[in-house]
């Protein structure tokens, strides 16, 4: 096959393309609680006086301030053994200091302070000083429980922060490795557009055997982001087209990626070439593409714990014992029963790629294979969206990094996956049951051509089948 530049002139498969948008309780910064006031607004306060008790055990403790009517009255509580008989009477302390004598009636005479004539106590001692005669306070014990709890919380915050940063760095590195675009960039306005977004998904076997980069699976995922309406258009691998365009050389459409990428040496060129060819065949403006290496995808499915797949119909098929016949040229039989099945990576790939069906001819068609591949992709996306799968996604990134490559940024790709509605997707298959017809190439290989010999009929059919 010759490596010639793409040219859309004189190509029957290349019709002209259409051109492709302040609250209560606060004053300023000072908190006001109850009857407390800003100290700057209080009247000047004189030191406390301790007058001798008045008759009848009534004490006028605060001559400067009249006690409001709502204040608690002085109560004579019963004496407690071992304590001052007058303990508990407001406003005196329950424990007289050494050398004090309780006065008759339970009150006691306040002590005289040698450095403070008149028995006055300085109500505002210097910082770090205690008033003379005041009881010594016990040193406050550290609350070790609170300290340990705080340290644990701080440690958890640090760990979560490190994990978040590490995970973010890993995800960004993954986005750079699997895409031609910067991870956080967007070519679609993060799917905020009302225009249709089309992405060609291609699957190839990979490895070192012949035909490793022939895209046996080709599906256009056409999405209307605002309504989530999704149409899946399967393009059969056997469709006979010019590669390269205008060259007069015809090959199956699954060779477009292999030729454009020079056997995967330049995957971006291969993706662009295949997307351009599919655009000409379907009439869709396919700007984006994504390739899936089946070997890497097999490992990814195993990394997320397998997938649950609904098999629509039972069948038995021959399947290569190894993708590379040089390793093992033998064949094995694989069987799938109708109903829900849990599949590991190897089983899922066999289900998606089996074509030599022995007992159910309908499942041996190229269209049936495309349908099974869509089912597998749907099951994988459904598994990824489950919260229980998220802890394993970090380790699964390594497997997926070797499985996919795209020209859509990671941010756009995630939005595309979230907006797709695969449960209600409209499936369109190009086959010999609608607009294609069976044929034979000059070397005898099986091919598919337009039923009427007119490529426009395929474009018109796809347009009519789109989910609007």
Mean of pLDDT values over 207-221: 87
How far apart are the C-alpha atoms of 433 and 77, rounded to whole Å?
104
CA atoms in the 13 A half-sphere facing the CB of 437? 8
How far apart are the C-alpha atoms of 94 and 104, rounded to whole Å?
15
Q: Which band of pLDDT confidence, cut at 50, 70 and 90, is reported for residue 140? A: low
* DSSP 8-state assignment for residue 136: P
Q: Residue 373: which residues within 8 A CB-CB, separation 6 or more? A: 203, 217, 219, 352, 353
Quick one: fold of 193-465? Answer: Aminopeptidase (3.40.630)
pLDDT of residue 84: 47
pLDDT of residue 22: 44
Q: Which band of pLDDT confidence, cut at 50, 70 and 90, is reported for residue 301? A: very high
Q: What percent of the chain has pLDDT over 70?
A: 65
3-state secondary structure the chain: CCCCCCCCCCCCCCCCCCCCCCCCCEECCEECCCCCCCHHHCCCCCCCCCCCCCHHHCCCCCCCCCCCCCCCCCCCCCCCCCCCCCCCCCCCCCCCCCCCCECHHHCECCCCECCEHHHCCCCCCCCCCCCCCCCCCCCCCCCHHHHHHHHHHHHHHHHHHHHHHHHHHHHHHHHHHHECCCCCCCCCCCCCCCCCEEEEEEEECCCCCCCCCCCCEEEEEEEECCCCEEEEEECCCCEEEECCCCCCCEEEHHHHHHHHHCCCCCHHHHHHHHHHHHHHHHCCCCCEEEEEEHHHHHHHHHHCCCEEEEECCCEEEEEECCCCCCCCCCEEEEEECCEEEEECHHHHHHHHHCCEECCCHHHHCHHHHHHHHHHHHHHHHHHHHCHHHHHHHHHHHHHHHCCEEECCCHHHHHHHHHHCCCCCCEEEECCCCCCEEEEECCCCCEEEEECCCCCHHHHHHHHHHCCC
pLDDT of residue 238: 93
Mean of pLDDT values over 155-167: 68
Mean of pLDDT values over 44-62: 47
Residue 50 has pLDDT above 80, yes or no: no
pLDDT of residue 89: 44
Global pTM reads: 0.65
402-435 tens-digit pLDDT: 899 999 999 999 999 889 988 888 889 898 889 9
pLDDT of residue 342: 96
CA atoms in the 13 A half-sphere facing the CB of 13? 28
103-122 tens-digit pLDDT: 444 444 555 545 554 445 55
Please give the residue that has the higher pLDDT: either 117 or 210: 210
Residue 94 has pLDDT above 50, yes or no: no
pLDDT of residue 139: 54
Residue 242 has pLDDT above 90, yes or no: yes
Q: What percent of the chain has pLDDT over 90?
A: 41
How far apart are the C-alpha atoms of 205 and 403, rounded to whole Å?
10
Mean of pLDDT values over 372-401: 85
pLDDT of residue 186: 94
Query: Domain residues of the chain, as ranges?
Result: 146-178, 193-465
Residue 79 has pLDDT above 70, yes or no: no
H helix or E strand, kind and range, residue 381:
helix 366-385
Residue 315 has pLDDT above 50, yes or no: yes
Q: Which band of pLDDT confidence, cut at 50, 70 and 90, is reported for residue 347? A: very high
Residue 163 has pLDDT above 70, yes or no: no
Least confident of 12-16, 89-93, 174-178, 193-197: 89-93
Mean of pLDDT values over 368-396: 84
* DSSP 8-state assignment for residue 262: T
The token duo for 301 is 């499915």
pLDDT of residue 133: 56
C-alpha dist (Å) from residue 106 to 48, 49, 62, 74, 84: 21, 19, 19, 13, 7
pLDDT of residue 137: 56
Most confident of 34-38, 97-101, 247-251, 319-323: 247-251
């Amino acid at each position: 096959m010759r490596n010639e530049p793409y040219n859309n002139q004189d190509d029957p498969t290349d019709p002209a393309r259409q051109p492709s948008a302040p609250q209560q309780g606060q004053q300023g910064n000072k908190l006001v609680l109850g009857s407390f006031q800003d100290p700057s607004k209080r009247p000047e306060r004189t030191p406390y006086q301790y007058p001798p008790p008045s008759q009848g055990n009534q004490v006028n403790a605060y001559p400067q301030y009249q006690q409001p009517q709502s204040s608690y009255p002085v109560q004579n509580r019963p004496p407690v053994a071992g304590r001052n008989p007058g303990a508990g009477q407001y406003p005196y302390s329950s424990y007289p200091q050494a050398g004090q004598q309780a006065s008759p009636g339970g009150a006691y005479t306040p002590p005289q302070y040698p450095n403070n004539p008149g028995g006055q106590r300085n109500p505002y001692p210097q910082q770090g000083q205690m008033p003379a005669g005041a009881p010594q306070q016990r040193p406050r014990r550290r609350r070790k429980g609170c300290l340990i709890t705080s340290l644990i919380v701080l440690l958890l915050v640090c760990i979560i922060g490190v994990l978040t940063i590490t995970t973010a760095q890993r995800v960004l590195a993954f986005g750079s490795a699997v895409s031609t675009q910067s991870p956080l960039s967007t070519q679609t306005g993060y799917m905020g557009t009302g225009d249709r977004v089309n992405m060609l998904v291609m699957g190839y076997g990979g490895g070192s055997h012949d035909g490793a980069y022939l895209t046996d699976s080709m599906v256009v995922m056409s999405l209307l982001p605002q309504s989530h309406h999704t149409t899946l258009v399967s393009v059969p691998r056997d469709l006979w087209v010019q590669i390269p365009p205008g060259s007069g050389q015809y090959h199956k459409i699954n060779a477009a990626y292999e030729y454009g990428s020079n056997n995967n040496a330049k995957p971006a060129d291969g993706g662009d070439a295949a997307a351009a060819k599919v655009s000409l065949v379907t009439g869709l403006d396919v700007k984006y593409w994504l390739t899936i290496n089946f070997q890497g995808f097999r490992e990814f499915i195993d990394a997320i714990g397998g997938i649950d797949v609904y098999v629509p119909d039972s069948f038995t098929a021959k399947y290569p014992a190894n993708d590379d016949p040089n390793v093992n040229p033998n064949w094995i039989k694989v069987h799938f029963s109708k109903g829900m099945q849990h599949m590991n990576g190897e089983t899922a790939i066999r289900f998606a790629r089996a074509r030599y069906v022995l007992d159910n001819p309908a499942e041996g068609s190229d269209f049936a294979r495309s349908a099974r591949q869509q089912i597998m992709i749907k099951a994988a996306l459904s598994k990824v969206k489950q919260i229980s799968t998220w802890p394993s996604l970090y380790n699964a990134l390594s497997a997926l990094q070797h499985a996919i490559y795209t020209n859509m940024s990671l941010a756009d790709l995630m939005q595309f996956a979230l907006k797709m509605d695969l449960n209600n997707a409209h499936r369109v298959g190009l086959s010999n049951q609608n607009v294609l017809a069976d044929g034979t190439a000059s070397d005898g290989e099986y091919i598919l051509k337009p039923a009427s010999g007119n490529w426009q009929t395929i474009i018109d059919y796809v347009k009519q089948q789109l989910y609007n």
